[in-house]
Amino acid sequence: MPKYNTFIEDKNGERIDFILDVAKRSRLNMGMRDGTLTVRVPYGCSKQQLESFINNNLGWIKEQKDKAAVGLPKDFCHGERLRLLGNELTLTFVQADKYFSPKIEDGKLLIAVNKTSDQTYVKEQTTKFINDLTVAEITKSMQKMSASTGLVPEKVTIKPLTASWGRCISNRHISINSKLIVFRRECIDYVCLHELCHLVFMDHSKDFWALVGKFCPDWRGIREEMKG
């Protein structure tokens, strides 16, 4: 299955960089992860078909790139935009004589600092808050969906994953991508449900999707929202 980096100039003359994924499939589709566009095409797809497909989806591409620009913090600087539980926040340092734990207020993630606070301190405070929130929210979602379905994994691990939002293996161990914390709670619920359903069906058969749909009728819409 050939896959390589390439680009085209769109109808506006702007360069569009993307990963071209050629495989045996029935139609063209695309996805975005961490700001990187992947265009998936079937064998025999012409350059004209490819360019037309991309040009017809320029609005979606821009929207996804704008979303990808706001995610988990990278620079840990005052005023940096980030996204938690689907909400855009501004990382805000507050000069405080007395320490307080990081907290979210009025669209801001507030971090208490003083004259001795350095970049390492700010990063540690911010990262700990996000990590604690991530574990709490994913654990809550997993317990909720497990109670709804009656499906119980042997073990759940929350950690960064590179190629998926979740993973379930045959020993009934489930891994959930910690980066899910950028999405709204319904998306987190869906990913937990998806992996729990793999305890019954270790594939993506019609039976699997029927089970997912029983507990999450809007799974298609959520997958589209998280596409990529």
Q: Report pLDDT digits (tens) over 162-219.
A: 889 999 999 999 999 999 999 999 999 999 999 999 999 999 999 999 999 999 999 9
Which domain range does residue 182 map to? 137-225
Q: What are phi and psi of 135, to 5 degrees?
A: -60, -45
The domain total for the chain is 3
**In a domain? residue 35:** yes
* Residue 7 one-letter amino acid: F
**Mean of pLDDT values over 104-115:** 95
Quick one: three-class SS letters along the chain?
CCEEEEEEECCCCCEEEEEEEEECCCCCEEEEECCEEEEEEECCCCHHHHHHHHHHCHHHHHHHHHHHHCCCCCCCCCCCEEEECCEEEEEEEEECCCCCCCEEECCEEEEEECCCCCHHHHHHHHHHHHHHHHHHHHHHHHHHHHHHHCCCCCEEEEECCCCCCEEECCCCEEEEEHHHHHCCHHHHHHHHHHHHHCCCCCCCCHHHHHHHHHHCCCHHHHHHHCCC
**In a domain? residue 46:** yes
- Say whether both 142 and 211 belong to one domain: yes
- Say whether both 128 and 142 belong to one domain: no
Please determine, for residue 138, whether its predicted confidence score (pLDDT) is greater than 80: yes
Q: Where does a domain end: 46, 69, 92?
A: 69
- Say whether both 142 and 121 belong to one domain: no
**In a domain? residue 76:** no
The share of the chain scoring above pLDDT 70, in percent, equals 97
Strands 103-105 and 108-113: antiparallel
Cα–Cα distance, 91 to 89 (Å, whole number): 6
Please determine, for residue 157, whether its predicted confidence score (pLDDT) is greater than 70: yes
**In a domain? residue 74:** no
Reported confidence tier of residue 224, pLDDT bands at 50, 70, 90? confident
What's the whole-model pTM score?
0.72
**In a domain? residue 17:** yes
Cα–Cα distance, 210 to 13 (Å, whole number): 44
